[in-house]
């Protein structure tokens, strides 16, 4: 099996590591980089708990090989809070009780981040559509939708 | 779940990729990876060599050329979703792209991979059958064009040679008075279809002058329903004609019972969904948008 030296920009920092070809991106993030905010849920490309942004697009990091991220950028949940301040999405999940057990939350937030970057003012239906690749078994989704709406409002106000 | 061991290659050109395919060993093309990587994690697929084509320039894109819509094999499903050209002129394709897996998967999954994987549960096969599309393959002896009717040869099997790469899909531009629709029933977002129907037809006055109907996940190989097409062609799409079309599709499909339903249920669902898809395609044909 081949091994490869890869350089990946993770949360703004270029990181070089050696990986086995078969290492999945999610394992690279969690085990090689100790960034355990990205969760492993189903391991079957179903649940979206492992969602990260790869070159700005939300993808399931359990379904990408780490070697494929060579020369690209990866953003994980750890990148969101800045200078001790929560990101508007994190604040939204806090304010609107967008989580119960919290397992799906990092993936949910990364999907929502991509959604709001593409569509800063989504309708409720567009939000539900945007997070339809992320499973939550606790909330029934209503509070998650409210959390994302809250973040969209905050971001709009910040820009106004 | 960790995939089995393999050697990874990331060629910069198609020629290099084709040469790598010609090496000894069981080699697989890695495009979006959204079917292949799960299969590798389950150890259902154990390729010895993985050839990642994501670094090859010029394999993606959506543009009309001549009388065809040309879609690069590496084009992501999400690109179809946001393409104005696809949304306005190719509603059958637009319908299809929206219901493949989920938005996260569609950010990586490719049109070429969806076809080359030849899973009868995948959505593009029925759609491309309905469009009468062509597939372009690149091998050591250059390029060849394969008619979609000749492409699917078995369960997960295509007429692609072991050293050929699917580089392009070409869809004929719909003529005036054409319309299409894809209607899928799935248990939840991200699941495969229980049954899904792709219809592309042309109206001449009130009568259907041409129609092709593809079926998803109700046979071991992606298929058309010639009986359903014949029931429709030459007739006005009245309720009776729609019912006959649906019944023909139900008779010609060959579903298996599984956790999505019994054979009887899937057959009847195919009848109902065929009627709905034809009705929507007719509506669009009349509305002037192809």
Which chain A residues have a beta carbon less than 8 Å from that of B3?
22, 24
A71 and A128 belong to one structural domain:
no
C-alpha span between A35 and A28 (Å, rounded): 9
| pLDDT the model gives residue B230 | 98
C-beta of residue B110 within 8 angstroms of C-beta of residue B31: yes
Nearest CA in chain B to A108: B104
Residues A101 and A63 in one domain: no
Query: Domain B7-52 class?
Result: alpha beta
The number of angstroms, rounded, from the C-alpha of A156 to the middle of its chain's C-alpha atoms is 21
Task: Provide block-wise average pLDDT over 10 residues at a time, chain B (290 residues).
Answer: 95 96 90 98 96 97 98 98 97 98 98 97 98 98 97 96 96 96 96 97 97 98 98 97 98 97 98 98 82
CA pair distance B266, B126, nearest whole angstrom: 16
CATH of the domain at A16: 3.10.20.30
Residues A21 and A42 in one domain: yes
Q: What is the ipTM of this complex?
A: 0.97
Min Cα separation A43/chain B (Å):
7
The reply to whether B7-52 and B178-283 are identical in fold is no
Last residue of a domain, one of A26, A47, A79: A79
> Are B175 and B257 contacting, i.e. CB atoms less than 8 angstroms apart?
no
Domain B62-172 has CATH 3.40.50.300: no
What pLDDT was estimated at residue B289?
A: 47
Tell whether A39 and A107 lie within a shared domain: no
* Token representation of residue B170: 């070409």
Instruction: End-to-end CA distance of chain A: give it in Å, rounded.
Output: 54
Task: Count up the domains in chain A and report the number.
Answer: 2
State the nearest Cα–Cα gap between B245 and chain A, in angstroms.
Answer: 32
At B168 the three-state DSSP class reads strand
What CATH number is given to the structural domain containing A97? Answer: 1.10.150.120
Residue carrying structure tokens 């097409």 = B229
Nearest to B190 among A63, A67, A133 (CB): A133
Range of the domain at A35: 3-79
Cβ separation of A133 and B3 shorter than 8 Å?
no
- Per-residue model confidence as pLDDT tens digits over B43-94: 999 999 999 999 999 999 999 999 999 999 999 999 999 999 999 999 999 9
Please tell me if residue B57 touches chain A, with a CB cutoff of 8 Å.
no
Domain match, A72 and A112 both: no
Helix H or strand E segment including B182: strand B178-186
Residues A10 and A49 placed together within one structural domain of the fold? yes
Q: What pLDDT tens digit does each residue of chain A (160 aa) get? A: 899 999 999 999 999 999 999 999 999 999 999 999 999 999 899 999 999 999 999 999 999 999 999 999 999 999 999 999 999 999 999 999 999 999 999 999 999 999 999 999 999 999 999 999 999 999 999 999 999 999 999 999 998 8
**B73 within 8 A of B165, measured Cβ to Cβ:** yes
Write the DSSP string, chain A.
Answer: --EEEEEEEETTEEEEEEEETT-BHHHIIIIIS--TTS----SSS-S-TTEEEETTEEEEGGGSBGGGGTTSEEE-GGGS-BTTB--HHHHHHHHTT--SS-SSHHHHHHHHHHHHHH-SS--HHHHHHHTTTS--SSS-SHHHHHHHHHHHHHHHHHH-
CA–CA gap between residue B209 and residue A61 (Å, rounded): 47
Domain limits of chain B? Answer: 7-52, 62-172, 178-283
Q: How far is residue B187 from each of residues A84, B99, B122, B261, measured CA to CA in Å?
A: 42, 12, 15, 10
CB atoms within 10 A of CB B21: 22
Q: Is B78 helix (H, G, I), strand (E, B) or coil?
A: helix
- Tell me which CATH code domain B178-283 carries: 3.30.390.50
Residues A62 and A106 in one domain: no
The answer on A147 and A114 residing in a single domain is yes
Q: Which of B208, B204, B253 is nearest to B226 (CA)?
A: B253
Tell if the CB–CB gap between A133 and B8 is shorter than 8 Å: no
Grouping H, G, I as helix, E, B as strand and the rest as coil, residue B100 is coil
Closest Cα in chain A, distance from residue B289 (Å): 24
| Chain A residues in contact with chain B using a Cβ-Cβ cutoff of 8 Å | 1-2, 4, 20-22, 24, 27, 43-46, 48, 51, 57-60, 62-65, 67-68, 70, 111, 129-130, 132-134
- Which of A24, A49, A79 is at the close of a domain? A79
- What B147-153 contacts at long range (C-beta under 8 Å, 24+ apart), as own/partner pairs, is B149/B224, B151/B115, B151/B118, B152/B118, B152/B125, B152/B221, B152/B222, B152/B223, B153/B221
Q: Are residues A119 and A63 in the same domain?
A: no
In sequence order, what DSSP letters do the residues of B121-160 get, joined into one string? Answer: TSSHHHHHHHHT-EEEEEETTEEEEEEGGGTEEETTEES-
Strand partners, A15: A8
* Domain end call among A47, A79, A111: A79
The phi-psi region of residue B288 (left if phi > 0; otherwise alpha if psi is between -120 and 50; otherwise beta) is left
């Amino acid at each position: 099996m081949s091994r490869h030296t890869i350089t990946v920009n993770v949360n703004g920092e270029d990181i070089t590591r050696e990986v086995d070809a078969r290492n999945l991106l999610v394992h690279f993030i969690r085990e090689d980089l100790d960034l355990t905010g990205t969760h492993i849920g189903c391991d079957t490309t179903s649940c979206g708990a492992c969602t990260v942004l790869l070159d700005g697009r939300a993808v399931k990091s359990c379904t990408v090989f780490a070697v494929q991220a060579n020369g690209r950028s990866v953003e994980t949940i750890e990148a969101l809070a800045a200078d001790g301040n929560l990101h508007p999405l994190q604040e939204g999940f806090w304010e609107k009780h967008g989580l119960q057990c919290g397992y799906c939350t990092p993936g949910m937030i990364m999907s929502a981040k991509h959604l709001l970057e593409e569509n800063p003012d989504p309708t409720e239906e567009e939000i539900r559509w945007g997070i339809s690749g992320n499973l939550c078994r606790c909330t029934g989704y209503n509070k998650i939708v409210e959390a994302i709406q809250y973040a969209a409002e905050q971001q709009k106000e910040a820009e106004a | 779940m960790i995939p089995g061991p393999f050697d990874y290659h990331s060629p910069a050109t198609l020629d290099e990729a084709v040469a790598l395919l010609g090496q000894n060993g069981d080699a697989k093309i890695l495009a979006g990876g959204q079917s292949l990587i799960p299969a590798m994690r389950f150890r259902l697929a154990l390729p010895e060599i993985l050839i990642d084509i994501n670094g090859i320039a010029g394999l993606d894109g959506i543009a009309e050329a001549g009388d065809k819509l040309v879609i690069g094999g590496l084009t992501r499903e999400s690109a179809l979703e946001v393409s104005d050209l696809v949304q306005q002129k190719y509603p059958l394709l637009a319908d299809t792209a929206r219901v493949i897996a989920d938005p996260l998967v569609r950010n990586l999954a490719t049109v070429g991979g969806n076809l080359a994987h030849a899973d009868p549960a995948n959505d593009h096969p029925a759609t491309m059958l309905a469009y009468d599309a062509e597939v372009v393959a690149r091998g050591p002896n250059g390029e060849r064009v394969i008619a979609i009717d000749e492409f699917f040869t078995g369960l997960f099997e295509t007429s692609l040679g072991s050293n050929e790469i699917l580089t392009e899909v070409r869809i004929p531009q719909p003529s005036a008075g054409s319309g299409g629709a894809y209607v899928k029933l799935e248990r939840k977002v991200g699941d495969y279809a229980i049954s899904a129907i792709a219809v592309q037809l042309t109206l001449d006055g009130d009568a259907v002058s041409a129609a092709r109907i593809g079926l998803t996940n109700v046979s071991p190989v992606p298929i058309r329903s010639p009986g359903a097409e014949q029931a429709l062609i030459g007739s006005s799409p009245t309720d009776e004609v729609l019912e006959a079309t649906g019944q023909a599709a139900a008779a010609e499909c060959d579903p298996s019972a599984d956790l999505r339903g019994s054979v009887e249920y899937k057959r009847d669902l195919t009848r109902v969904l065929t009627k709905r898809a034809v009705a929507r395609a007719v509506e669009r044909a009349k509305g002037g948008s192809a």
